[in-house]
Amino acid sequence: MTIEQRRARIARRHHLAPATRGSDVTGIARDLVALHATDPTTVYMSAMVRLRVPKFDAIERALYVDRTLVRMLSMRRTMWVVPVERVAVFHAAVGKTLERNQRRMLVQLVEGAGITNDGVKWVRALERSTLRELTARGEATAAELSKAVPGLDTQISYGEGKAWAGKVGVSGRVLVVLGAAGKIVRGRPRGSWVSSQHTWTPTPSWLGAAIPEVSVDDARVELVRSWLWTFGPGTLVDLKWWTGLGMGEVKRALTAIDPVEVDLDGGTALVLPDDAAPVRKPAPWVALLPPLDPTIMGWKERDWYLGDHQKALFDTNGNAGPTVWSDGRVVGAWAQRPDGELAVRLLEDVGRDAAAAIDVEADRIERWFGGARILPRYWSPLHRELST
């Protein structure tokens, strides 16, 4: 399996080559397994660059009217937008473990701060009262719930006397536990599509029912199989990182799939049993992808498409900034300046035709924004430089 083949798969399966763009935002999310949603604007931009006819209202409808896409906590304690029919898979495969781990951490936090000697009882009671209040309201922000639920506004100090000292709010931790438990989901934001002030809603109210029970083992097999189709060939390291599962859990899921091993530039990678055939190379293409786009974040081992641009395009926590792509490799970065103009910086020579196509794509995205100011949650070094 050559690098050229991997890049051809990105173009076609990630809907990045113009001829492969889609018409259905839910279908696009499904083909990408899920959309990153930690930064609310990423969801819109990831979908828009892949839509044949980009329309913000189509994304709004899928998220908040038809609800064929659902925001939920899952892999790596990250917020994702997931096709509704896969919510149970994500919850069983990852959410249940995430719930246990996050509750245990919160218990340790409140006991360590001396708030209570019985952290389990204290946290469980706070979960119940928070869920009861949210159910009565129908929807609410974290700030609204903190004012209404006794104890939810608790602040815990850490790092006393240290340069990194600060406080952590209990409310955010409780909502994370409830989200991982599948009891609440992110609803419509307060404000426009660039707003990060999201409401929370009880899951049965949003979906019409509680999340169905699915076998954990079956769910992990389905999650790994979906990743292999979208991102394969990939390595065990890639799969462990992306799913957030343990290596033993990944290997158990792969046993049920029985993937094919392929030679990958001297190493070994995996593809689905019926997916080793070559993929036809598309016509030359370019794309401007947003921060934390599923494509840039799809693998742990990224040299084959990122080259030596990691330090310029990722922050110190491993979050990708906005990137410029040409034929399946990262060639630069882009950013929106305060006046709304899109600035592009190429980190390598891509040739006259590709450079011209990148300018056209930048103009297209600038028109989509329609004057909206995009303030991403994570800034890469080059992104910050271009934004000034």
The pLDDT value recorded for residue 196 is: 75
Residue range 201-211: average pLDDT? 96
Is residue 294 assigned to a domain?
Answer: yes
Total number of domains constituting the chain: 1
Which among 177, 187, 79, 92 has a CA at the least distance from the CA of 128?
177
The pLDDT value recorded for residue 191 is: 77
Is 4's pLDDT higher than 90?
A: yes
Is residue 7 assigned to a domain?
Answer: no
pLDDT confidence band for 39 (50 / 70 / 90): confident
Which residue type sits at 189?
Answer: P
The pLDDT value recorded for residue 195 is: 76
Is residue 330 assigned to a domain?
Answer: yes
pLDDT confidence band for 160 (50 / 70 / 90): confident
The pLDDT value recorded for residue 157 is: 82
Spatial separation of the C-alpha atoms in residues 322 and 344, rounded to whole Å: 10
Q: What is the pLDDT of residues 67-99, one digit of tens each?
A: 999 999 999 989 999 999 999 999 999 999 999
Q: What is the pLDDT of residues 213-225, one digit of tens each?
A: 999 999 999 999 9
The answer to whether the beta carbons of residues 291 and 42 sit under 8 Å apart is yes
The answer to whether the beta carbons of residues 294 and 31 sit under 8 Å apart is no
Is residue 139 assigned to a domain?
Answer: no
Backbone angles phi, psi at 179, to 5 degrees: -70, -45
Which residues form the domain of 383? 286-387
The pLDDT value recorded for residue 165 is: 72
Q: What is the pLDDT of residues 54-68, one digit of tens each?
A: 888 999 999 999 999
Is 264's pLDDT higher than 90?
A: no
Which residues of the chain form beta strands (DSSP E)? 35-36, 69-74, 78-83, 155-158, 166-169, 184-189, 198-202, 260-264, 267-271, 286-289, 323-326, 329-336, 342-346
The pLDDT value recorded for residue 40 is: 85
Is residue 207 assigned to a domain?
Answer: no
Is residue 50 assigned to a domain?
Answer: no
Is 189's pLDDT higher than 80?
A: yes
Q: What is the pLDDT of residues 325-380, one digit of tens each?
A: 999 999 999 999 998 899 999 999 999 999 999 999 999 999 988 888 888 788 89
The pLDDT value recorded for residue 373 is: 85
pLDDT confidence band for 166 (50 / 70 / 90): confident
The pLDDT value recorded for residue 161 is: 72
Is residue 362 assigned to a domain?
Answer: yes
* % residues pLDDT > 90 (the chain): 83
Residue range 37-48: average pLDDT? 92
Query: Edge-to-edge strand order for the sheet containing 78-83?
Result: 35-36, 78-83, 69-74, 184-189, 198-202
Residue range 262-285: average pLDDT? 92
The answer to whether the beta carbons of residues 55 and 19 sit under 8 Å apart is no
Is 164's pLDDT higher than 80?
A: no
Neighbour tally for 259: CB within 10 Å: 22
Supply the mean pLDDT for the chain. Answer: 93
> Out of 13-22, 123-132, 375-384, which region has the weakest mean confidence (pLDDT)?
375-384
The pLDDT value recorded for residue 162 is: 75
Is residue 99 assigned to a domain?
Answer: no
Residue 72's DSSP bridge partners are 80
pLDDT confidence band for 253 (50 / 70 / 90): very high
Spatial separation of the C-alpha atoms in residues 230 and 233, rounded to whole Å: 9
* % residues pLDDT > 70 (the chain): 100
The pLDDT value recorded for residue 221 is: 98
